[in-house]
Amino acid sequence: MAAEVQEHTSADLSKVDSAIDDAPASPTESKIKHRRTSSTVSGVFNINDLEKENVELKIAPETQKLNWKINSSPSTIEDKEVLKKLLTTPPIKKIDLHFPLGLEVTARNLKGVTIKDACDAIYKAYKKRADDELEAPYLAGFEWDREECYTRFIVHQKKTGDVVSSGSSKKKKAKGGEEE
């Protein structure tokens, strides 16, 4: 009786065990299924493809006017609309941002890298640094030197932030308690 049960169990297992099944998978099953095809947007390019086609990139000029301290959150940038703008024309999926001292970070967005994506990538690298550790803590903008390296931008920094008009003085007054 015990031999009969044991024989029955091994027969059931062989039917379930996928290692025993030698039948080839159908062509539709063998295709690799990507998880996020819907998040890819048409009109957004891979920078390597643009390099092969020798396409000229244009960096958004707004990056030079951000007046943003790289070790503070990008949410501290006053003009929130600028953050939504694409970093380049034509839009790209990712870009390496190279700092003069050798650090390199990558900004990615399958819908097109925005100024916020670039700021987020920089902030992630610098958020734990104190102000006195940074020689030039403000973002001055990006430079693209297609001869040196097509697939990366050089990050420029400056020692002081620009004096901003009345928008930031209200915050300073509110912090000082002079304004209600």
The confidence score (pLDDT) of residue 22 equals 53
The confidence score (pLDDT) of residue 48 equals 93
Q: What is the pLDDT along the chain (180 residues), one digit of tens a residue?
A: 555 555 555 555 555 555 555 555 555 554 555 555 555 678 899 999 999 999 999 999 999 999 999 999 999 998 899 999 999 999 999 999 999 888 999 999 999 999 999 999 999 999 998 888 888 899 999 999 999 999 999 999 998 877 654 444 333 333 444 444
End-to-end alpha-carbon separation of the chain, Å?
90
Residue 97 vs residues 25, 45, 123: alpha-carbon distances, Å: 44, 17, 12
Task: For residue 83, give both structure tokens.
Answer: 């953050």
Is residue 97 within 8 A of residue 156, CB to CB? The reply is: no
CA distance 66 to 87: 13
The confidence score (pLDDT) of residue 160 equals 84
CA distance 134 to 128: 11
* DSSP β-ladder status, 152-158 and 94-98: parallel
The verdict on whether omega for the bond into residue 90 sits within 30 degrees of 0, i.e. cis, is yes
Which residue's structure tokens are 């049960």? 5
pTM of the predicted model, to two decimals? 0.68
CA distance 136 to 100: 11
Identify the CA nearest to 96 among candidates 21, 154, 38, 177: 154
CA distance 71 to 69: 6
Please count the other Cβ atoms lying within 10 Å of the Cβ belonging to residue 141. 18
